[in-house]
Structure 1
Amino acid sequence: MSKVYSLFYSSIPGLKEEMLYPKYWMKYDNMACVIMKKQDIEIYNRSNVIANGPIVDLENYKECFSRQELIDKINIVSILPKHEMFNEDELLLDSKYYKELVDNCNICGIKNINSITYGITVRKTMMRTFPTYDRAFKNGDNYEFDRFQETAVYPVEALVIIFESKDSEWYLAQMYNYLAWIPKKDIAIIKKEELFNYLNTKDFIVTIGKRVFTSYNPLNNQLSEVKLDMGIRIPLANIDEIKADVYGQNATGNYVVKFPTRSNSGKVKFKLALIARNEEISVGYLPYTRENIIVNAFKFLGERYGWGGMFNSRDCTSFIMDIYRSMNIKLPRNAEQQGKLCVGNFYEINESMTVGERKKILDKLKPGVGVYMDGHGMIYLGKENGKHYIIHNFSGFYKEVSGGSLKYYKVREVMVSPLCIGLSADGKTYIEGLYGARDFVIKD
């Protein structure tokens, strides 16, 4: 008899194929109910700016920095590693190398008073610990975790430009939830008033797909097949700005957007770009519902884990951040900031709690709530057969094999799992590693 080929294989305990689809988790009550209306979301976002240091108000940002203030900013970002690091050739990074990195931070070039400027990203780019493309790894063969990579930054992202590197190739820049070094070539300089008039345009679209692309443009490479991740807000062109064709293409089957490009002088030039109407686009933000959280989360199912946005992907907390951005919920970038500092109803799980007590806390959660342990964020899905399930972007888990020993299984992707899977080699489970859950709402 020939072997029957199965389309579904998983080493994850308690995972059934039907759990890999969002409709499976739509059986709970009030999934389509609006969690917060537009005006409440605006209040929520403002509250996060006030209460949460990692989120800043770029429109009302400090206009200049003293020499010492700017040195302090650089020292927050460009921290020398405490552990041995290796380059891509598995060679140890030495003190001479680090001296060159620090030198390019240009501390000697800091003036007594240093004024800011504003910028906007014109393509997907990155933020780095130091102004360099060089990669650094804790182990010589650990290609998946470049320790100089801080975060990916998407197109049409507003920035405050604080300082320039010595080689004039990098900016020290602040986005709404991150401060680090960003490549100068990916940024267009723009006046503050023009930037926020553009960003606050009344009519806009939001990307709600895993990836969306602008249409191919044979006449302007900066507008052609630009990759747009989930949660990007892009202003629409006014009807009187649209001509008979856009770069030789009829616009009828497309959304016509105003997109930032970078001139030869480094300044912004807004141009019309096309995004096909069959792309995953929302006119305006999606309603903030638990259904939309779960549906958008499952769009990333199977996507490879990408530390700080490596591999053209995302990590555990940017996965959460991008989903919520599509509904205009602005979250901090990192796990500790999301779980411990963000505004919202917090469900604390103390270290002293038993597994049973922890399960009682989880029983109170609604689908779509963020669940956190040190260094890792997850999205809660629901309870099935006594097990609590999550969808998350995670590295792997431990499972008992024959003989009673624990074996580590790599995952390195967005996947569904129960919280009872093994977290560490000592037998500790994910549920035992939790410190709490955060529902991103105006606090009760």
Structure 2
Amino acid sequence: MPGLRTLFPLLLLLWTLTGCTPKGPAPVFLSESVLPFLSQAPAPLDPETTKRVYADFLAHHYAPWQMRSLDVTPEEATWAVRHFADKPIYGENRLPLEKKRLDAWILNADYDSLNRLERHAVIVHPTSLRLFPSMRPIFLDPSLPGEGYPFDYNQNSALKAMTPLIVSHLSRDGGWAFVQTPFALGWVPIRDIAWIDERQIEGIMQLPKAVVTGERLPVYDGKRTFLFYAKLATLFPLTGSEATSEKILVPRRSDDGKLLLDHSLLPEIWGGSMPLPMNVENIRRVAEKLLGEPYGWGGLVEDRDCSAMTRDFFAPFGIWLPRNSRAQAAVGRVVPLEGLGAEEKEKRIVEEGVPFRTLLYLPGHIMLYVGERDGHPYVMHNMWGIRTRGNGRHIVGRAVVTDLRIGENLPRVDKKALLIERVVSMNVIVDP
């Protein structure tokens, strides 16, 4: 009965939003839609503010191409070596990671060669930024709740195609490049980057930009040969328009490792010209693509974690956010919430928060405030789970819309671990 299968998700959403009280413990509130909150979105940013924040976005995005060397100390570059030196860590087989494997990664990293290459490059197709030059994972004890897959601590971040880089040096075996991206530092496979010259940098930076607003957009070169899938918030140089598509430049790597740019098309249903107006339709367009995505620690297997989701929500509107949750929580106008009771926190969030422009922060997690219902704030966030007694987890594992009391009626929930108890600040990214 396809009609009932189609209707059931809508009925479930309506049931959760109407406040019906069932007998026994209430279910966890989860929704994968922002539709009930779009009426609370503020007016779009004015032209002057849009221009200002977009200029800031571009300055951060292209910062690696303006550098002549990595702007980090040797101590900062090698923090992961010290961090994992005395920790009990595990491999993909759930057994303790052999010390000789970690030592081999560190040797191959050749940190004594820091900043000897100092060359600009660009990501040519989606890849991962790793703490050590290896795709092998690092886990803490997989038998503990909240550890093991997907928490690969060798994973720093996912990188999109066309991400600017400055390369410090190569690994001893030549298979990896130690790079600084616009938002993080780490190792990428050499096959995933292409060297770029100053003329190409100048040309790319001067062109307007197109942004992907869909998920897993198939990208082709000028001969319609498949290159890669692009995720939402991927940026491409924009060269014009054609019928219902934007004309863009896409990257390829030549046989000698240099950047080649091919002409391609971005259908308007998959993207648009940067920055998108931050109106109700575009907020819905972006948010609905992010919701429902599986949780991916550090962008593992090209999924998003909490801070990657908030970062990619704001990017199409030309608003820059750093990569990790703590840094994101310091952007804009910060309102402290620590020390307040749950009801006081909710009241202050509703009174001072701007829907779809405000982040809520608790140590290790960041959320997008989308509005209120009956005086209770609701958030859009990609979350792993709800902590239960005995340090267990009720797994959510995807991007959802919830209130801040999610899970309070679960039988074994740890009440002290509820979001409303742990949130310590809110910050309005751009004031109306």
Whether the TM-score (by the shorter chain) exceeds 0.5 is yes
Could you tell me which of 75, 85, 91 is aligned with 1:87? 91
RMSD, aligned CA: 3.2
Partner of 1:181: 187
Partner of 1:152: 158
Cα distance, 1:238 vs. partner?
5.8
SS at 1:86 equivalent: coil
Could you tell me which of 72, 75, 91 is aligned with 1:72? 75
Cα distance, 1:440 vs. partner?
1.4
Cα distance, 1:192 vs. partner?
3.1
Partner of 1:198: 204
Partner of 1:40: 52
Q: Is the 8 A contact 1:129 1:181 kept in 2?
A: yes
SS at 2:116 equivalent: strand
Partner of 2:348: 361
Please give the alpha-carbon distance, in whole angstroms, between the structure 1 residues aligned to 2:392 and 2:64.
47
Q: What does 1:198-277 correspond to in 2, within 5 Å? A: 198-202=204-208, 204-215=209-220, 221=225, 224=226, 226-237=228-239, 254-275=245-266, 277=267
Cα distance, 1:300 vs. partner?
1.8
Cα distance, 1:228 vs. partner?
1.1
Q: Is the 8 A contact 2:29 2:406 kept in 1?
A: no
Change (3 A) 1:387 1:12: farther
Tell me which amino acid in the other structure corresponds to 2:210: I
Q: Is the 8 A contact 1:35 1:290 kept in 2?
A: no
SS at 1:91 equivalent: coil
Q: Is the 8 A contact 1:77 1:180 kept in 2?
A: no
Q: Is the 8 A contact 1:173 1:180 kept in 2?
A: yes
Tell me which amino acid in the other structure corresponds to 1:321: R
Range with greater deviation from structure 2 (323-332 or 32-41): 32-41
- Count of aligned pairs between the two proteins: 404
Tell me which amino acid in the other structure corresponds to 1:349: L
Partner of 1:245: none
Change (3 A) 1:266 1:178: same
Partner of 2:20: none
Partner of 1:284: 274
The superposition leaves residues 68-113 of structure 1 with CA deviations (integer Å, 9 ceiling, x where unpaired) of x663343135444253111111221133222111101113445xx7
Please give the alpha-carbon distance, in whole angstroms, between the structure 1 residues aligned to 2:79 and 2:305.
22
Partner of 1:119: 121
Is 1:440 paired with 2:429? yes
Partner of 1:383: 372
Cα distance, 1:286 vs. partner?
0.4
The superposition leaves residues 98-150 of structure 1 with CA deviations (integer Å, 9 ceiling, x where unpaired) of 2111101113445xx72411001110001001011111211346221111001
The superposition leaves residues 320-370 of structure 1 with CA deviations (integer Å, 9 ceiling, x where unpaired) of 111111111111000011113x3x1111112x2111221222112111111
Partner of 2:38: 26
Q: Is the 8 A contact 1:301 1:415 kept in 2?
A: yes
Is 1:130 paired with 2:115? no
Change (3 A) 1:212 1:407: same
The superposition leaves residues 25-46 of structure 1 with CA deviations (integer Å, 9 ceiling, x where unpaired) of 1222634454963322146548
Q: Is the 8 A contact 1:130 1:181 kept in 2?
A: yes
Change (3 A) 1:37 1:274: same
Structure 2: runs of 5+ lacking an equivalent: 17-24
Please give the alpha-carbon distance, in whole angstroms, between the structure 2 residues aligned to 1:379 and 1:304.
17
SS at 1:199 equivalent: helix
TM-score by length of 2: 0.83
Q: Is the 8 A contact 2:347 2:375 kept in 1?
A: no
User: Between the two proteins, what is the percent identity of the paired residues?
Assistant: 22
Please give the alpha-carbon distance, in whole angstroms, between the structure 1 residues aligned to 2:90 and 2:37.
44
TM-score by length of 1: 0.81
Q: Is the 8 A contact 1:14 1:418 kept in 2?
A: no
Cα distance, 1:253 vs. partner?
5.8
Please give the alpha-carbon distance, in whole angstroms, between the structure 2 residues aligned to 1:238 and 1:255.
6
The superposition leaves residues 34-68 of structure 1 with CA deviations (integer Å, 9 ceiling, x where unpaired) of 4963322146548x96xxxxx88324324478xxx
Could you tell me which of 105, 108, 121 is aligned with 1:104? 108
Could you tell me which of 147, 160, 173 is aligned with 1:167? 173
Please give the alpha-carbon distance, in whole angstroms, between the structure 2 residues aligned to 1:238 and 1:278.
12
Change (3 A) 1:388 1:171: same
Partner of 1:298: 288
Cα distance, 1:279 vs. partner?
3.5
Q: Is the 8 A contact 1:115 1:162 kept in 2?
A: yes
